[in-house]
Chains A and B, each alone.
Chain A
Amino acid sequence: MNRIITILLCIAVPRISLAQASVKGTVLDDFGYPLQGVQIHIKGQKTGPVSASDGSFGIAAGAGAVLVFEHSGFNTTEIRAGSAGPLLVRMPARYLRQTAAPDPGARASGDTIYVAYNAVQPINVLYGKAHQQSFLGSISTIGAGELGGTPASSYTYALPGRLAGLDVRQTSGFYTPLTNSLISVDIFVGNIPNNTSGAGPTDNTEFNIRLRGHNASLGQSPIAIVDGVQREFYSLDPESIESVSVLKDPLSTILLGQNSARGALIVTTRQPVAGPPRVEFTAETGVQSAIKIPSPLPAHQYAYLLNEALLNDGKAPAYTAADFAAYRDHTDPIGHPDVNWYKTILRDNARLNRYNLNVTGGGSTARYVVGLNYMDQQGLFVSSGANPYNTNAELKRYVVNSKIDIDVNKDFNVGLQIFGRLQDGNQPGATTSAILQNLMTTPDNAYPVYNPDKSFGGNNNYTQNLMAQTVGSGYMADHVRDVMANLDLNYKFDKWVKGWWGKAKGNVSVQEATNQDRSKQAPVFSQSVAASGDTSYHRYGSTVNQKNDFTNTSWARYRFVQLSTGYDRQFGPHSVSGMVMFDQKNALLNYDIPSALTNYGARASYNYDERYFAEGGLTCSGYDRFAPGHQYGLFYAGGIGWNMAKESWLSSQSRWLDQLKLRVTYGRTGNANVDNYGYFVWRQHFSGVAGTYPIGSNYPNGGGLAEQGNPGSQVLANVNATWERADKLDAGIDVSVLHHRLQLTADYYHERYFDVMQTRGRSIALIGSGYPVENIGIDLYEGAELTLTWQDHAGDLNYFVTANGSLQKSRVIFMDEQYQQYPWNVHTGHPVGQRYGLIADGLFQSGEDAAAAPTIAGYTPHAGDIKYKDLNHDGMIDQFDVAPIGKERPSIYYGLTAGVSYKGIELTVLFQGAANREQYVANSYTDAGFQGQNNGYSQAYLQATGRWIPEAAASAIYPRLTAGGNGYNYAPLFQSSSFFLRNGNYIRIKNVDLGYNLPYTWIRKLKLRGIRVFANAQNLFTHAAYKGIDPEVNFPSYPMQKVINTGVTVKL
């Protein structure tokens, strides 16, 4: 991999001409350190000198001539040659990570040669680095520029819209801590671990990351590899990451063996940079505000509409005209409360503070980087000064990440990384999720916040007060501690065999998560005023004194060992390399016995003159959570490539063509998905169950014993469980033209997943136990991705546009589906995850229509109810009328980033969106309202005003109101209904980043190396086809947030 740089350096001995120098100066990088290899010429001329290792240059230029400074890693800068003094030219780094190395032959101009010194960083791939020219796989990469401008708690926030093929959807606006114990008590063996996931705990509780359509819920999301080691680390500050790449094709992930089907997310934290110390400190503070919360009905409207719903149901109304008046006029705030709970317990905005300190440097024998990071993210709940402790949701994080890279001698390199993370979370004692759920369901007129005597309001139906839950329920503090150590040993055996090398990598990481429950519960009081005028209070709910429980929620130890040796050699135009490796990942989760994933891999590649490429890899991979004898499988992949631009018949014709590479990879990959579906699923066993039948006259509540899991969730042992497999094809093209100003990458993929874990269709209940998932399904995933980048400058104005789009579709080929009576009942052949339900045909506009129509057994429809299509014309709406609903077009997701840079001012904007998408909008609380709850009725929302009424029959967007749930209009036959499908297309201004680098002449006076002030924003604006809810995150999930952030970076 390093070969390319080596070649370039060989050619790139700068031959600097100082003969007629009349303008002298020094070129500096964005850190104020000398920059070597910058090509300088006078505007309009083609030749010029190249800056030396101390950054100095000299060029013959008359006064007023415009000097152009060019470097592939930095924005092109133009300076008018001044009259006096040597010039100091500081070049800002490019925003986009440059992956295309300039062709050394292509830009020979005059007596200078373009120098590739450090110009193009190699891309980080699985277990190493690669160069874009020779890489045959499918990869998308983003660098520090894209990551750094994202004001968020984790780098995952920077991914949506930036990586082709990776669909990153947010599901919650705040992280969700673990609160449950990691062990349970078993009658046989005492404490046993609660653990079914072989991957271990993940800190991603906010995003669904889908690569090429593979859903995390199917256990098929990409494997996260942080600094060469599989760890589920997503919660890292975007500022501290150097690059994120996603590997999508079979060949580039084949060394993952039994996980190779899943693709890989390669995360690389900041790497050491040789040279004098570079100290960079960034402080930033942001304001977060929820972007979409539901609009509850005010109490009088709620009362009125509830009456309407009750009357629709033929029940007596609950409120009188006097009640409406009292609610509307707020004349009786205790007896007739009208509380907008959203405004009462949520604050308008919350702070997000982040501080990053990064120090790097080193010499020829050792290099180092130390990163320190602190983050404090506040939640959206109000708090009370009466508490000495914090009750609001909060996430604080401290990270130390240091890397040392030592060249012991010219053959032996040692790398050591120590990573530590402390994460302290907090939430109200009642828990964030419970409060949000209650917030969604509690009507405005349920109870007053406070009674006149300052006690919390409440009543028999509402024994917990939302305000009490928010500020008076104590707190829960969770703590996560991570320590990770990486040791890398690299040795070159050139002394014995030229080109032979060996590597060893060892990693140990430990995670411990705990939860401290200091929650309590306050009673609520209902005030009643007797006829005599006496006020009395009645207490409801219980007083729970503050607990002091401590729970170990997760404990994990990972060990990763990798040994590899290989051979890299160039023979004239022939370049060969090969390697064999062994690795083993041990995960010991929750004091359980460790799982071991073992790989024996090999790969070999050959290329001729960087023109013809061939590469192959195979891995024998075993996972010990399968039955003995069923543990090891063979996975393999191969690829070929052809860079047509190297062909003389083409390159001689077109100087503008830099790269035209065709590449194809194909492989058989695997996914050891068994942990997603159970724990040692092949073992027939008995387990203890709590709370069994109380034989005995005092009804003792002892433990019992059951076969294959807890009663109700028993499944048979699956003795034949094995890995899922996927045959994957990826064909792509990389084009780079006009001196890399325009770059295009396009990929087509065809992935046939088979042995997919599914429950068999013939899962007959007579057997008396559930059937486990078995290796049954066959699914086809197909799609295409396109990334297009244009970057150029007009004078001193540098600009770029990069856009990516992905097209994705899937189809179920086989799912062991049982006989279906009608063709529309069949699921096979439709997309994976297709929604099925009844097809709605508008609303009944009259009682006669409703009476005449086919209906669901036992339900009498009325005007204003949904009319369903009776597909089989049997006069009944039943299971035979269930069909696929919604469109089956391929889904599209895309992003576009555009940026300009001019005289220190930098502005970038990211648009991100999705198309051909549908949302199912039938939340029974927010859309239907008036659900049966606590012997009363739940909250209703603005949506209820769009219900069908005779007077506004034509404009109705919801069916008529009913109270206490309705099995006909909502969830008919426990299915979906096409009535509630909405267009899910959206586009967001996901990120805007505006920065200003203070002129170097000023900061020099301050003895600093750089100051950048910036403001950026996340989720600034959303345009969604359906306005009712956010297209990604919906209540009662923690809402998605808009973040406006400002900060300053100081370089020392």
Chain B
Amino acid sequence: MLCGIFSSCQKSYESVPLGQQVTLDLAFDPRDSLGKQAMSYLLTTYQQALYSGHNRIGGAYLDAASDDAISSASGIPSVQALATGAYSAAQTNADDMWTRNYTAIRNATVFIVYILRVPMLEKLPDGRPARSAYRSEARWLRAWLYWQLVKRYGGVPLLGDDIRQITDDVQLPRNSFGDCVNYIVSECDDIRDSLRTAAMVNSSSYGRITRGAAMALKSEVLLYAASPLFNGGNIDPSNPLTGYGSHDANRWKLAADAAKAVIDLNEYQLMPKFNDVFTTQASPVGSNTEIICWFQNGSNNSVENANAPVGFSSVGGNGATSPTQNLVEAFPTDSGLAITDPNAHYNPDQPYDHRDPRLDLTVFHNGSLWLNRAVQTYAGGADKPGGSVQQTKTSYYMRKFMGSFESVSANPPTYSATYHDWAYFRLAGVLLNYAEAANEFSGPAADVYNVLYDLRKRAGILSADNTYGVPQGMSQDDMRNFIRKERRLEMAFEEQRYWDIRRWKIAAQVYNSAPLRGLDLQQSSSGQLFYNPTPVLTTVFKDPQMYLYPIPYSEAIKNGQMKQNPQW
């Protein structure tokens, strides 16, 4: 009775709040031919799946955990913990992606499953239904997320199209490395023909996953699967989670074919100028014909602000990344010869003269031109002032990815906004994938050489005889080493080197042989410079434990079926 008196008051309100009445039927509306909400859901899925590699690991590039660079930050930056082995299962490293990726995988799966309820009418330019393209984008994102996990942990649990709820058991075992590779590759194969081609992209679909991305992902996955770490050289041969049980040379063929398929699309060409690859929007919206798949990082000065030398007070600049002497020495001379080659005429007192032009586009060294003045990285110079301000630890700063601000007209000099899309895949990388796989499968044939010529020609290396300093008649082993070196230079700071030294199984040697070096650069009162290489960081790699990341400890104990990686 009492209840009756007051229930009348309640009638004027909803029983659940408005903001949360967005249920599945509204998000994936079976009556919405535009698929408006579903499309914004897909954008969130993109956001969760993809990331920019620029200053990703605690403000540093992942490559600052390889032998190419160190972080300039004070204290113990999280990226340094990766290079010095300061992580464990309980103390996960800053590149750990377990929880993040499984969250994104769930969200991608929700789209993949429920988009089929939405009767979208949109068509692609060639008349195919756009809905299958969108669904394939989500499948690509999911495959990509799995790949990022597999690269780090080996085989991981594959969840398929199930969306689990609180009442479901999720104590799932890991799938083998081989199963994971097969799954990712089959997803790439399945979706490639429903995605947009690069040519179909327009200003409103700029940034969407395309056919090339699916094929390039397949190329990378198969290249890794064929690489020593997983193909017979895995750290625990009896454990299918860590790789294939035995070597199979045919995996190199699969990798070579996958890379060749991308090249044979003829949709992508090398850019004429190296630096434009990183600062130009992709064709057909922009003129960048080389980039295949990227993160939409916008047009801004973020890379310059974080990484440029610290002495330019009109623009700021925090010099977050200190490339190593090791990397600088790896660049050949402008005739393509290694600096150790007696014919290279390398002058240790003018170490930056007559070098591979990519050196100046990859690092700032003392004397580099920037914003109308020479960079000063000698002790006490404008860009290495001493004191407690963050500054280079090696006398180098990272230059790659920045706009061409060597000379600018503004006074005081400033940056203009520059495109900083982060490339996951670009043709140069696919060419190197091809060269590596082809050399491994069938030896250094002419098309392997051609890849190297093309890249070095574009780099601006001089050549009288069109060999660009590439030694002729190399053995398979020589060619392997040559490709690895070229890959390091071409792909520096692009999150390749860190993984390459692992899949080549040379990480123990790279990290443990000697401390990384910088330069103790002193200028005398007469202006003479003294170049003294100096150790800057002792890296540590526990072999073979650290070839794979540990499964986060909490996951290993919560899930009865979860197997930890070897030795963690």
Asked whether A584 lies within 8 Å of B44 as measured between CB atoms, the reply is no
| Residue from B14, B22, B85, B165 having most chain A Cβ neighbours under 10 A | B22
A412 at the A/B interface (Cβ < 8 Å)? no
Chain B residues contacting A973 (CB-CB under 8 Å) are 90-91
Q: A711-B47, A932-B75 are in contact. Are A697 and B285 (CB under 8 A)?
A: yes
A677 at the A/B interface (Cβ < 8 Å)? no
Q: B377-408 vs A: 1/0 string, CB under 8 Å? A: 00000000011111000000000000000000
B107 at the A/B interface (Cβ < 8 Å)? yes
Bound state CA distance, A974 and B299, in angstroms? 37
Q: A592-B17, A973-B91 are in contact. Are A764 and B44 (CB under 8 A)?
A: no
Q: Tell me the smallest distance from the CB of A925 to a CB of chain B, in Å.
A: 14
Asked whether B19 lies within 8 Å of A193 as measured between CB atoms, the reply is yes
| Residue from B3, B19, B207, B555 having most chain A Cβ neighbours under 10 A | B19
Which of A687, A771, A963 contacts B166 (CB under 8 A)?
A771
Which of A192, A695, A858 contacts B86 (CB under 8 A)?
A858
Q: A718-B166, A764-B171, A765-B102 are in contact. Are A819 and B46 (CB under 8 A)?
A: no
Bound state CA distance, A963 and B75, in angstroms? 6
Asked whether A318 lies within 8 Å of B558 as measured between CB atoms, the reply is no
Q: A596-B10, A707-B110 are in contact. Are A694 and B18 (CB under 8 A)?
A: no
Asked whether B6 lies within 8 Å of A858 as measured between CB atoms, the reply is no
Asked whether A318 lies within 8 Å of B387 as measured between CB atoms, the reply is yes
Asked whether A818 lies within 8 Å of B296 as measured between CB atoms, the reply is no
| Residue from B17, B87, B90, B98 having most chain A Cβ neighbours under 10 A | B17
Q: Tell me the smallest distance from the CB of A416 to a CB of chain B, in Å.
A: 22
B496 at the A/B interface (Cβ < 8 Å)? no
Which of A711, A762, A876 contacts B48 (CB under 8 A)?
A711
Interface stretch, picked from B23-31, B270-278, B468-476, is B23-31
Asked whether A717 lies within 8 Å of B40 as measured between CB atoms, the reply is no
B365 at the A/B interface (Cβ < 8 Å)? no
Q: A933-971 vs B: 1/0 string, CB under 8 Å? A: 001110000000000000000000000001111110000
A202 at the A/B interface (Cβ < 8 Å)? no
A1004 at the A/B interface (Cβ < 8 Å)? no
Chain B residues contacting A856 (CB-CB under 8 Å) are 86, 88, 91
Interface stretch, picked from A181-189, A472-480, A512-520, A982-990, is A181-189
Interface stretch, picked from B198-206, B239-247, B426-434, is B198-206
Which of A717, A766, A878, A931 contacts B159 (CB under 8 A)?
A766
Chain B residues contacting A561 (CB-CB under 8 Å) are 6
B266 at the A/B interface (Cβ < 8 Å)? no
A143 at the A/B interface (Cβ < 8 Å)? no
B410 at the A/B interface (Cβ < 8 Å)? no
Asked whether A764 lies within 8 Å of B73 as measured between CB atoms, the reply is no
Chain A binding surface, main DSSP class? loop
Asked whether B40 lies within 8 Å of A857 as measured between CB atoms, the reply is no
Q: Tell me the smallest distance from the CB of A426 to a CB of chain B, in Å.
A: 33
Q: A593-B14, A764-B558, A857-B85 are in contact. Are A686 and B74 (CB under 8 A)?
A: no
Asked whether B102 lies within 8 Å of A768 as measured between CB atoms, the reply is yes
Asked whether A683 lies within 8 Å of B20 as measured between CB atoms, the reply is yes
Q: Tell me the smallest distance from the CB of A123 to a CB of chain B, in Å.
A: 29
Asked whether B17 lies within 8 Å of A680 as measured between CB atoms, the reply is yes
B99 at the A/B interface (Cβ < 8 Å)? yes
Asked whether B387 lies within 8 Å of A319 as measured between CB atoms, the reply is yes
Interface residues of A in 684-719 (CB under 8 A from B): 684-689, 692-699, 702-707, 711-712, 714, 716-719
Interface residues of A in 757-785 (CB under 8 A from B): 761-769, 771-772, 774
Q: A857-B86, A879-B89 are in contact. Are A966 and B76 (CB under 8 A)?
A: yes
Bound state CA distance, A719 and B553, in angstroms? 29
Asked whether B26 lies within 8 Å of A188 as measured between CB atoms, the reply is yes
Bound state CA distance, A819 and B416, in angstroms? 56
Of all chain A residues, the one with the shortest Cβ separation from B317 is A460
Chain B residues contacting A692 (CB-CB under 8 Å) are 40, 43-44, 46-47
Which of B26, B47, B99 contacts A765 (CB under 8 A)?
B99
A883 at the A/B interface (Cβ < 8 Å)? no
Interface residues of B in 196-225 (CB under 8 A from A): 203-208
Which of B10, B37, B106 contacts A705 (CB under 8 A)?
B37
Interface residues of A in 569-597 (CB under 8 A from B): 582, 584, 586, 592-594, 596
Which of B37, B50, B103, B553 contacts A714 (CB under 8 A)?
B103
Q: Tell me the smallest distance from the CB of B506 to a CB of chain A, in Å.
A: 20
Bound state CA distance, A189 and B19, in angstroms? 6
Asked whether A711 lies within 8 Å of B76 as measured between CB atoms, the reply is no
Asked whether B204 lies within 8 Å of A716 as measured between CB atoms, the reply is no
Chain A residues contacting B84 (CB-CB under 8 Å) are 858
| Residue from A592, A702, A768 having most chain B Cβ neighbours under 10 A | A768
Asked whether A705 lies within 8 Å of B41 as measured between CB atoms, the reply is yes
Chain B residues contacting A719 (CB-CB under 8 Å) are 166-167
Q: Tell me the smallest distance from the CB of B129 to a CB of chain A, in Å.
A: 19
Bound state CA distance, A695 and B146, in angstroms? 22
Q: Tell me the smallest distance from the CB of B104 to a CB of chain A, in Å.
A: 8
A266 at the A/B interface (Cβ < 8 Å)? no
A306 at the A/B interface (Cβ < 8 Å)? yes
Asked whether B313 lies within 8 Å of A702 as measured between CB atoms, the reply is no
A155 at the A/B interface (Cβ < 8 Å)? no
A-B contact count (CB 8 A): 249
Q: A683-B20, A686-B23, A696-B203 are in contact. Are A932 and B73 (CB under 8 A)?
A: yes
How many residues on the A side are at the interface (Cβ–Cβ under 8 A)? 91
B298 at the A/B interface (Cβ < 8 Å)? yes
Asked whether B557 lies within 8 Å of A819 as measured between CB atoms, the reply is yes
Q: B299-334 vs A: 1/0 string, CB under 8 Å? A: 100000000000001001010000000000000000
Q: B506-548 vs A: 1/0 string, CB under 8 Å? A: 0000000000000000000000000000000000100000000
Chain A residues contacting B26 (CB-CB under 8 Å) are 188, 686
A623 at the A/B interface (Cβ < 8 Å)? no
Chain B residues contacting A761 (CB-CB under 8 Å) are 558
Q: A593-B13, A716-B166, A719-B166 are in contact. Are A704 and B47 (CB under 8 A)?
A: yes
Bound state CA distance, A263 and B401, in angstroms? 62
Asked whether A964 lies within 8 Å of B165 as measured between CB atoms, the reply is no
Asked whether A704 lies within 8 Å of B87 as measured between CB atoms, the reply is no
Which of B86, B172, B205, B296 contacts A694 (CB under 8 A)?
B296
Chain B residues contacting A967 (CB-CB under 8 Å) are 76, 81, 86
Asked whether A584 lies within 8 Å of B203 as measured between CB atoms, the reply is no
Q: Tell me the smallest distance from the CB of A825 to a CB of chain B, in Å.
A: 10
A538 at the A/B interface (Cβ < 8 Å)? yes
Which of A319, A598, A704, A762 contacts B43 (CB under 8 A)?
A704
Chain B residues contacting A500 (CB-CB under 8 Å) are none
Q: A502-525 vs B: 1/0 string, CB under 8 Å? A: 000000000000000000000000
A316 at the A/B interface (Cβ < 8 Å)? yes
Chain A residues contacting B165 (CB-CB under 8 Å) are 716-717
Bound state CA distance, A679 and B19, in angstroms? 10
Of all chain B residues, the one with the shortest Cβ separation from A310 is B388
Q: A318-B386, A765-B102 are in contact. Are A693 and B296 (CB under 8 A)?
A: yes
Interface residues of A in 285-328 (CB under 8 A from B): 306, 316, 318-319
Chain A residues contacting B14 (CB-CB under 8 Å) are 593
| Residue from A705, A717, A769 having most chain B Cβ neighbours under 10 A | A705
B16 at the A/B interface (Cβ < 8 Å)? yes
Asked whether B75 lies within 8 Å of A965 as measured between CB atoms, the reply is yes
Asked whether B13 lies within 8 Å of A594 as measured between CB atoms, the reply is yes
Chain B residues contacting A937 (CB-CB under 8 Å) are 74, 388
Bound state CA distance, A932 and B87, in angstroms? 20
Bound state CA distance, A100 and B134, in angstroms? 78
B21 at the A/B interface (Cβ < 8 Å)? yes
A-side interface residues toward B, CB under 8 Å?
186-189, 192-193, 306, 316, 318-319, 460-461, 538, 561, 563, 582, 584, 586, 592-594, 596, 598, 600, 624, 628, 679-680, 683-689, 692-699, 702-707, 711-712, 714, 716-719, 761-769, 771-772, 774, 818-820, 856-859, 876, 878-879, 931-932, 935-937, 962-967, 973-974
A-B contact pairs, 7 of them (CB 8 A): A593-B16, A693-B44, A695-B205, A705-B44, A716-B165, A819-B557, A932-B73
Closest 4 CB pairs of A and B: A858-B86, A768-B106, A964-B75, A192-B19
